[in-house]
């Protein structure tokens, strides 16, 4: 990261007026320009009680929250598999793995797969239904009340979810209690609210020409956290069971909330009169995509949002099925291999960050996004036919540039709106991500059991075909931009 990128994420005393573009880091006022400001309360000025001296801002919050989430997700699916296996009397996992033979499939194994997929659907739908409404309040509200509260509240909600899951493990409560924990997290905005706060913070503090890379750095934090959590979770679950990993998830969420409140500087001057429960917040989100959005940006926002919807839906849908696909025949992976598989999947965040940085030197961002979609589609095609561990990891390897498309799309959306609308913009993106979760679980988790006896890898093949739509949209927009630029210079 160069000096301008580093300085762009340092906590700044300089807060630009609403609606002004953030200047480049070299143009920010020197320290001497702000030394003589009169002292004021940290909460009213936007300064944290204990400013962090390192050149980081919201990265630790995103890292800790993602680590907790990535630690819980595969373990929750495996716990559902084990609990449902006990309920139906299936002992495949207890005998050391599922049957890996060429004979007819075990009907009990198929029943466990189907019920696990359905309960994953119910849990994700519960979080979506509640979180969708809450995020549309929190995002625009943070444009006036500040980003710090937006990062703290959902971190505490995720801690409540982890605490509920621990209660289920200790007391062996019925499976529906997992849904109750998901609802508690949804009431606080869920992980999507943390994404809103982090990306809006970057939109507040980064120059336009560095924004795509700054967004990619945040997404790389997601990948590193997910990779570490996946490796640790698989080995830890095999050694000690489920309880201790969930305690670590709870501790990470509490640490994220504490860091956000004590160390993250507000990039928006907090308005004490800002109300959380107001219809103006939803109207602010809707105005972004309306006819009066200004500058003709409405159609482009819709198109890029559609691309983001399809890409993230494929990411979510395939990710939800990887563990089920790996646990069952013919792969029959154990917890350790499942952990390595999840780590390989999350490694794509880091390789995509490196690839994005290199490719930006010679290609426009739109072409980088197209290469990312091609990488993702090729990986899904290979995984759809994977019948061995080597072939499955080959698919993960082809996925090395798959996460380059999402930071490009987030950056393009952010650049289309004013600095005073970053919270509303990323709240709408969070709604799209919640809708992605709904579509992914509704389509992919329903498609998987429906096509299990025909072609087990069909959902992955369907995802690869679906990626052709955003590829065509991004390519068409870029070609029209090039044509317009050429006509303007001729």
User: What is the pLDDT confidence band of residue 387, given thresholds at 50, 70 and 90?
Assistant: confident
User: What is the pLDDT confidence band of residue 135, given thresholds at 50, 70 and 90?
Assistant: confident
Each residue of 351-385: pLDDT tens digit?
Answer: 998 999 899 888 998 999 999 999 999 999 999 99
pLDDT of amino acid 290: 67
Q: Is the pLDDT of residue 115 over 60?
A: yes
User: What is the pLDDT confidence band of residue 487, given thresholds at 50, 70 and 90?
Assistant: confident
Q: Is the pLDDT of residue 315 over 50?
A: yes
Mean pLDDT in residue range 334-340: 81
User: What is the pLDDT confidence band of residue 252, given thresholds at 50, 70 and 90?
Assistant: very high
| DSSP reduced 3-state for 401 | helix
Q: Is the pLDDT of residue 490 over 70?
A: no
Distances (CA, A) of 351 to 307, 357, 370: 22, 10, 16
Each residue of 413-457: pLDDT tens digit?
Answer: 888 887 777 777 888 888 788 788 778 878 888 888 888 888 888
> What is the DSSP-derived secondary structure letter of residue 35?
T
To the question of pTM greater than 0.85 for the whole model, the response is no
Continuous H helices in 176-296: 176-187, 190-205, 211-240, 243-263, 279-288
Distances (CA, A) of 4 to 24, 30, 77: 8, 14, 42
Q: Are 147 and 186 in contact (CB under 8 A)?
A: no
Mean pLDDT in residue range 12-29: 39
Residue 347: closest CA among 460, 226, 216? 226
Q: Is the pLDDT of residue 306 over 90?
A: yes
User: What is the pLDDT confidence band of residue 347, given thresholds at 50, 70 and 90?
Assistant: confident
User: What is the pLDDT confidence band of residue 393, given thresholds at 50, 70 and 90?
Assistant: very high
User: What is the pLDDT confidence band of residue 249, given thresholds at 50, 70 and 90?
Assistant: very high
Lowest mean pLDDT among 61-75, 104-118, 307-321: 104-118
Q: What is the DSSP string of 130-185?
A: HHHHHHHHHHHHHHHH-HHHHHHHHHHHHHHHHHHHHHHHHHT--THHHHHHHHHH
Distance, CA of 326 to CA of 386 (rounded, Å)? 10
Q: Is the pLDDT of residue 8 over 60?
A: no
User: Across the chain, what does the average pLDDT equal?
Assistant: 79
Mean pLDDT in residue range 238-245: 87
Q: Is the pLDDT of residue 205 over 70?
A: yes
Compare 336 and 21 and report the one with higher pLDDT.
336
Mean pLDDT in residue range 54-78: 84
Burial class (CB in 10 A: 0-12, 13-18, 19+), 262: middle
Q: What is the DSSP string of 208-228?
A: GGGHHHHHHHHHHHHHHHHHH
Lowest mean pLDDT among 52-66, 210-224, 266-280: 266-280
Percent of the chain with pLDDT over 90: 26
Compare 158 and 99 and report the one with higher pLDDT.
158
User: What is the pLDDT confidence band of residue 81, given thresholds at 50, 70 and 90?
Assistant: confident
User: What is the pLDDT confidence band of residue 19, given thresholds at 50, 70 and 90?
Assistant: very low
């Amino acid at each position: 990261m160069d000096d301008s990128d580093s300085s762009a994420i340092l906590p700044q005393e300089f807060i630009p007026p609403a609606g002004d573009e953030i200047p480049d880091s070299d143009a920010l006022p020197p320290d001497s320009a702000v030394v003589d400001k009169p002292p004021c309360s940290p909460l009213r000025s936007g300064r944290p009680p204990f400013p962090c001296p390192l050149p980081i801002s919201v990265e630790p919050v995103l890292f800790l929250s993602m680590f907790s989430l990535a630690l819980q997700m595969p373990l929750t699916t495996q716990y559902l598999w084990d609990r449902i296996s006990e309920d139906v009397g299936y002992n495949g996992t207890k005998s050391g793995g599922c049957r890996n033979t060429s004979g007819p499939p075990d009907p009990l194994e198929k029943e466990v797969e189907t019920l696990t997929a359905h309960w994953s659907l119910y849990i994700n739908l519960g979080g979506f239904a509640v979180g969708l409404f809450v995020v549309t309040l929190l995002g625009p509200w943070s444009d006036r009340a500040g980003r710090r509260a937006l990062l703290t509240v959902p971190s505490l909600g995720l801690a409540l979810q982890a605490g509920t899951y621990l209660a289920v493990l200790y007391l062996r409560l019925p499976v529906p209690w997992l849904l109750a924990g998901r609802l508690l997290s949804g009431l606080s905005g869920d992980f999507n609210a943390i994404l809103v706060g982090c990306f809006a913070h970057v939109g507040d503090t980064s120059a336009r020409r560095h924004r795509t890379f700054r967004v990619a750095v945040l997404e790389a934090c997601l990948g590193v956290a997910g990779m570490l959590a996946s490796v640790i979770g698989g080995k830890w679950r095999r050694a000690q069971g489920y309880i201790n990993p969930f305690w670590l998830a709870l501790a990470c969420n509490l640490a994220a909330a504490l860091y956000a409140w004590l160390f993250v500087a507000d990039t928006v001057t907090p308005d004490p009169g800002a109300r959380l429960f107001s219809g103006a917040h939803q109207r602010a989100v809707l105005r972004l995509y309306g006819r009066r959005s200004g500058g003709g940006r409405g159609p482009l926002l819709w198109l890029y949002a559609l691309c983001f919807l399809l890409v993230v839906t494929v990411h979510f849908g395939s990710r939800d099925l990887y563990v089920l696909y790996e646990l069952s025949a013919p792969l029959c992976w154990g917890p350790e291999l499942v952990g390595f598989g999840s780590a390989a999947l999350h490694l794509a965040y880091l390789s995509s960050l490196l690839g994005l940085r290199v490719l930006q030197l010679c290609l426009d961002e739109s072409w980088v996004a197209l290469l990312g979609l091609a990488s993702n589609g090729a990986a899904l095609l290979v995984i759809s036919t994977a019948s061995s561990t080597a072939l499955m990891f080959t698919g993960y390897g082809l996925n090395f540039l798959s996460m380059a498309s999402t930071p490009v799309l987030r950056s393009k959306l952010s650049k289309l709106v004013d600095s005073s609308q970053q919270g509303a913009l990323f709240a709408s993106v969070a709604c799209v991500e919640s809708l992605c979760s709904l579509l992914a679980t509704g389509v992919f988790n329903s498609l998987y059991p429906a096509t299990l006896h025909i072609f087990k890898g069909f959902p992955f093949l369907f995802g690869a075909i679906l990626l052709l739509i955003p590829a065509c949209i991004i390519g068409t927009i870029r070609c029209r931009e090039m044509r317009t630029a050429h006509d303007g210079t001729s």
